[in-house]
Structure 1
């Protein structure tokens, strides 16, 4: 059994858990519920001795976790399924835990079969999916065959078959007389798995009762009544009779009536006395989710708001192309667009440099020399033949060195360019003379 008495935990100025007292009894699945930031994870860490309480105490079988002899053989826990060395095989991970606790290696193969990971026992855990990681964490919790088990979100990442397997596993463990403490945000799954609930909000205890009592205490049941749709006068007659008897009647959207304050036999007698035929008379009770939301609505710290930009998008006008709003000019068609081999020009570069590929409006794009093309098209352009008017690369540097001719001013004669002196010829060497005589 797990027992907490006056449990309090503070982190500086923040109080995560305050004066929390509860008991988790064996033989039943106890659900641990609460909004995000309510202190559930902190409480479970203090139960396992990972955090020291500021005040109060929590014990397992009458002893703090750190004073339990061979604690892994008595307590199994799954708090973080990712707390596994990614380079280890699944079997080696469990084998190392077993060797630290004096558990025989045969138990490793047993729990691998229980959680369904025997076929991937030699696979490294960093290649596991989220659901496979959850199964490996459950296997580690079951390794020592403990009497007390703690699970934090055990069905996270599991498929429907895996969720059903975990549900049946929790029930079977509790049926064996073990203490099973499960934290989860899935209300529908808790309604099917847990028999007892401990609900906290902002670090304080809100409820400690069975699931049935919790729903009854935080919701109001009602009776659903339906009369023939073709006879609306009978519905009005029944509404008057129920109201006079002290019931509260609310119309449903589908035409039925929601009646509160009167038991079903009384509603049936009133309808019989008023000579009203009933097509439906059924009891309805709120779900665990509805009861939970009603209880914890004042303890939620994180609430979403409506999208402030949701109404700024202008409606699409009929006949307008996608992305066009009324008053916008239609885009100018680009020559060659939507034809094979066409691609959009690159965006203009930063720094004010013009884009040589941006065609003027109404003019076809001009061909550019290969060296000026964008890098992604260079390989394509190199395969094209060079234009006739382009100079060879080896003469480009020489032509750039020649001075440009100056235009003569009015009344002046054009100056002839002065010839540049040729460099002196090299004197012939002896080897050159020998070659000449030969």
Structure 2
């Protein structure tokens, strides 16, 4: 188990992590989330003894990392897949790590097989793709068969098959009773992989709960309701009835209605009582990404602005009309349509 108590790290007058306390328990995949600059990497470095905390402490199995006997046999980590001597072959890189920790050479070949690099074991790592580098870094983390594993963006650069493999690997490691701590910006992947979440913002703890509880606490569920497109008067009739019953109704871009404040059976009863036919009545639960964005919107340091293209717009020729805006463009959930197919 990893335990942080009052963990604080300052660099001069900048506080990267402040009074952070949490536990990462064995037997589950714990996701570590936060915006860029929130202190995730600094926290992981302190866990691994690479940075000293200004205040507080963090332990692994009750001991600071630097006091663990033969730490590589207890803790495996992937923080930077590029931290490899490019002139070494993949097998030689792992072999040097194994020799430093008293790990038998046959284990090197085992982990190369686990990560799928056995066929390129003799190739120099400087010729590896980003995804191959990630696999080599994961192999190094698994080398000592540790009970505690830390991964920072483990699926970076991997193709869909590789991402699926990492997801199953994390779950399998946790199922064996190991402690698995994973930092990632891919919310969709965390939703499929993590059992528990620790979320920080600007160096402070924002959430420490299960994925299900996190989504429930930071999102508002709603019902999607659709009436026949050919009878817009029914849509207006139902909107009025739902509003009178205490519901909050918002139109969607595709013509459906978003209803909050009323349960699905109540919406169905109101539609029946007002003689309105329904084409759709479905529940919607927010995704992890939606819940995460809602929680961390006040803890983001870098925000984009609209591109005004000042001085780059060409003047319209005489008599020309400006282009019509695309309906829904710029609204949440809008995506640009695909370009037309050539020659088809």
Query: Would you call these one fold, judging by a TM-score over 0.5?
Result: yes
Summarize the alignment of residues 72-221 of structure 1 with structure 2, pairs less than 5 Å apart: 72-221=72-221
| TM-score normalised over the length of structure 1 | 0.71
Once the two structures are superposed, what CA deviation does each residue of 1:73-96 show, in whole Å capped at 9, x if it has no partner?
A: 010000000111111111111011
Residue 99 of structure 1 aligns to a residue whose secondary structure is helix
Paired with 2:111 and 2:38, the residues of 1 have a C-alpha distance of 33
Residue 116 of structure 1 aligns to a residue whose secondary structure is coil
| TM-score normalised over the length of structure 2 | 0.90
- What is the aligned partner in structure 2 of residue 254 from structure 1? 254
Unaligned runs of 5+ in 2: 319-344
The count of residues paired between Structure 1 and Structure 2 equals: 318
- What is the aligned partner in structure 1 of residue 22 from structure 2? 22
Paired with 2:48 and 2:171, the residues of 1 have a C-alpha distance of 22
Summarize the alignment of residues 23-422 of structure 1 with structure 2, pairs less than 5 Å apart: 23-310=23-310, 312-315=312-315, 317=317
Once the two structures are superposed, what CA deviation does each residue of 1:238-296 show, in whole Å capped at 9, x if it has no partner?
A: 22221111101111122211110001111111112222211100001221111111111
- Shift of residue 315, structure 1, vs aligned partner: 4.0
Paired with 2:181 and 2:132, the residues of 1 have a C-alpha distance of 21
- Specify which structure has the bigger relative contact order, considering alpha-carbon pairs within 8 angstroms and separated by 6 or more residues: 2
- Shift of residue 234, structure 1, vs aligned partner: 2.2
Residue 162 of structure 2 aligns to a residue whose secondary structure is helix
Residue 262 of structure 2 aligns to a residue whose secondary structure is coil
Residue 208 of structure 1 aligns to a residue whose secondary structure is strand
- What is the aligned partner in structure 1 of residue 324 from structure 2? none
Which protein is bigger by CA-based radius of gyration?
A: 1
Paired with 1:273 and 1:317, the residues of 2 have a C-alpha distance of 57
Higher fraction of strand: 2
- Shift of residue 231, structure 1, vs aligned partner: 2.3
Once the two structures are superposed, what CA deviation does each residue of 1:296-336 show, in whole Å capped at 9, x if it has no partner?
A: 11111112223343463214649xxxxxxxxxxxxxxxxxx
- Shift of residue 233, structure 1, vs aligned partner: 2.6
Unaligned runs of 5+ in 1: 319-438
Question: How well do the aligned residues superpose, as a CA RMSD in angstroms?
Answer: 1.3
Once the two structures are superposed, what CA deviation does each residue of 1:207-244 show, in whole Å capped at 9, x if it has no partner?
A: 11111111111111110011112222322222222111
Paired with 2:316 and 2:96, the residues of 1 have a C-alpha distance of 63
Paired with 2:311 and 2:288, the residues of 1 have a C-alpha distance of 35
- What is the aligned partner in structure 2 of residue 349 from structure 1? none
